[in-house]
Amino acid sequence: MKCLTKAGILLIVIGLSFLVSTLYRSTSESGNFGFGTFAAGLAPKAWSPEWNTSHPYAPRFNKYFLLPREHRMDVKTNTIIDVYVLDPEGAHLWLAEGKLEPIVSFEGVRQQVVTFNIYNRDDYSFLVHNPSADAAEYDLSVSGYGIETDLLYSSLIITVFGAVVTLVSFIPRGSGRRKQSLVNKKAVLPAAVLAILILSLPTASCAAQFQASSILAPSWMKEGTYVNYDFTPMGRSYSNGVLETSQELTVFFLNGSRIECRNVTSVIFRWECTDLKENMATLDVSYSVTSDLASDNFYTSTLVDVGIANRRVSFQDGTLIGTTNFWLPSSPAEGQEVTLWDVPPDKATATVKTKELNGEDIFTGQTLEEPQRSFMFQNITGTMNGEEVNIGTFWGGGMYEYDTGLYVGGPIRRDSLFTALGIDNLDIPNYMTTNIDMGPAKIVINWGYVLGLAAIVGSIVVVVAVLLIKRRRQRR
C-alpha cells in the first residue's frame, strides 16, 4: 500500500474518531452553573456589574468557560431584567469604557428559558440590567447542550481531507501501476465500509427512559402504621474551650409565635394511621417535646385525612390544607415526575433522582439502622400558594426510601402535616422509626474493589497456571 494511501486512511480514522467522540459528548450537558441576587436584589435601573471603574471596589466579571454549543439559560425573576452575554473583549469594553457590545442580548425577560449559541471556546461573562422601577431578584442557571461545533467541524474536515488524500493516491501514474492500484482498492474497500458503518451509527443518546410508577397508593398504609421522626436537638458548642451540647429548642408556629424549650431530651414528630378507607387514610399527627423541666414540655396533635393516591391533607371538617411529602410514589424511575404540591390552581412538580453523579444508587443510612436504597427530587417547578417554587422552597428536599417512597430524612419544610399542627418548620430529623417493612437492606458492595481484587488474583493465577503447565509438558 502506498504511503499516501496509508496517510489518507489514517486521517480518515482520526477524523472519524473525533466525530464519534464528539457525538458521544453531545449527549451530556455542560456548564450547569447559575448565579443570582442576594438579599436586596438588583436596584432599579442598576447594572450588575457596574462599569464605573472609579468605584473603590473595582467590579469584576465572573468568567465562565463556555463550549461552542447551544446553551439554555433558565431565567427566574420577580420582575423583568435584561441579560447580556459578553465575550472577553466585550467584558473588557464594558468594564473599561461602559460600552455595551454583547454577543447575545435578552431584553425584558421574565420567567422564561432562552437559548443562545456560543461559537468559540472562551470565557464569557453575563451582564444583568434591571430596567424596572423595582428591585430585581433573579436567579439564572445556564447549561450547554448538543454538539460542540468546533470539534464537529474539525472531525469532518479531517475526515474529508483524509478521503481526498486516499482518493488522490489511487490516481494511476502509468500502466505499470494498475495492478498496484487494484491491490490498494481492495485495502480501501474495508476502510470505506467501516467509515460508512460508523457514520451511519445513530447518535448515542443517554436520555433517561422511565416508566411512570404504577404504585401511587402505598401498599404499606394500614391501620396502625406509624412513623416517628426524632428531632431531638444535637447542637454542639464550645464554651471556654469545653464542648457542650445544646439542648435548647425553639418551635416556630404559623401564627408567628414561638416557644423556647430548655433541657430538651426528646423531640418526636409522629403520624399514625388510625383509620383506612378505600382512598383515604386518617392520620393522628403529633408533635411532642420532652424536657427535664416540666414547664418546657410541649405536646400537640391533630387528626387529618390524607388522600392515599394524591396525598392531599385536609382537616376532618374537609378544609384542605395542602399536599404532604412525607411519602412519595414508591419505586420511581430516574427522571420520573412527582407532584409535590397539588392544590388548584397551584401545582408544583419535581423529577426524581435515584443515582449519584458517578452512576451509583443513592443510599442512606443516616436515619435507618441499615442502608436502604433511596431517592431524592430535583428540578422543582410550579407554584405553591400563589408563588413560584424552587429548590429553596423545600430546603433542598429530603431523602426517600426507594421501595416504600417513605420520607426517611433530610430537609423537609412547610409540609402540610406540620401546617395541620400549626407548626412553621422543623429541623432535619436525626433518625426515624417505623413499623413499616422497608424490605431488606441494600448490601452496598464496592464492586470496583471486588472486581479489582479478582482481577489481580486472576492475573497471578493465569501466570502461575501457564508456568505449571509448561513445566509439566517439559517433564513429559
Partner 1 sequence: MAQHKFLGLMRWELEENLSLPLLAFLVASAIIATLINYTFGPPYREYTHLYFSSGTVFLISSLATGAFFARSYAGSIGRGTTKIMLSYPIKRSQLFLSKFTALFLVISAIYLPVFCVHVYVDGLVAFGLMILLSLFGLLLQLMLTCSVAVGISMVTKSEVVSILATVLLLFGLDSVLGMWDILSAQGRLFHLLQYFGNELYDTLPFGGRDTVTANETMLAVLVPIVVFVVLIVGSFVYFTRFMEVD
Partner 2 sequence: MSNNTFIVNTDNVSKCFGKNLALNELNLHVPKGITGFVGRNGAGKTTAIGILLGLLKPTSGKATVFGLDSWNDSFKIRCRLGVMHEINAYPGNFSAKRYLEHVARIYGVSKAEERINAQLKDVDLWDAREKPIKTYSAGMIRRLGLAQALISYPELVILDEPTANIDPIGRATFLGIIKRMNKEQGTDFLISTHILSDLEKVCSWLSIIDAGKIVEQAPIDDLAAKYSANTYKIVVSDPQLLVEKLKTAEFMQKVWIENDTIYCQVNDADRFYTEVPKIAGNLKLQLKTFQLMLGTIDEIYAKTAGGN
Interacting residues toward partner 2 by CB under 8 A: 471, 474-476
Between 234 and 273, how does the x/- string for binding to partner 1 read (CB under 8 A)? ----------------------------------------
Q: What are the Cα distances from residue 184, in Å, to 12, 29, 158? A: 16, 43, 21
- 367 is a contact residue toward partner 1 (CB under 8 A): no
The answer to whether 2 and 184 have CB atoms below 8 angstroms apart is yes
**What CA–CA distance (Å, rounded) separates 411 from 380?**
15
The answer to whether 265 and 246 have CB atoms below 8 angstroms apart is no
Using CB distances below 5 to 8 A depending on partner kind, what does residue 474 bind out of partner 1, partner 2, none? Answer: partner 2
- 43 is a contact residue toward partner 1 (CB under 8 A): no
Least separation in angstroms between residue 184's CB and partner 2 is 12
Least separation in angstroms between residue 220's CB and partner 1 is 38
**What CA–CA distance (Å, rounded) separates 78 from 84?**
18
Closer Cβ to partner 1, 66 or 75, answer by number = 66
Task: State the number of binding residues for partner 1 (CB under 8 A).
Answer: 47
Q: Which listed residue (2, 4, 17, 274) binds partner 1 by CB under 8 A?
A: 17
Closer Cβ to partner 1, 293 or 455, answer by number = 455
Provide the angle, in degrees to the nearest 10, between the axes of the packed helices 3-25 and 178-200.
0
Using CB distances below 5 to 8 A depending on partner kind, what does residue 455 bind out of partner 1, partner 2, none? Answer: partner 1
Using CB distances below 5 to 8 A depending on partner kind, what does residue 33 bind out of partner 1, partner 2, none? Answer: partner 1
Least separation in angstroms between residue 280's CB and partner 1 is 46
- 21 is a contact residue toward partner 1 (CB under 8 A): yes
Using CB distances below 5 to 8 A depending on partner kind, what does residue 14 bind out of partner 1, partner 2, none? Answer: partner 1
Least separation in angstroms between residue 188's CB and partner 2 is 16
Residue type, 21: S
- 122 is a contact residue toward partner 1 (CB under 8 A): yes
Least separation in angstroms between residue 471's CB and partner 2 is 7
- 458 is a contact residue toward partner 1 (CB under 8 A): yes
**What CA–CA distance (Å, rounded) separates 284 from 227?**
11
Find the part of the chain contacting partner 1 (CB under 8 A) among 3-11, 41-49, 232-240, 324-332.
3-11
The answer to whether 294 and 374 have CB atoms below 8 angstroms apart is no
**What CA–CA distance (Å, rounded) separates 53 from 474?**
86
**What CA–CA distance (Å, rounded) separates 237 from 457?**
50
The contact set with partner 1 (CB under 8 A) reads 1, 6, 9-10, 13-14, 16-18, 20-22, 24-25, 28-33, 63-66, 121-123, 142, 144, 151, 448-449, 451-460, 462-463, 466-467, 470
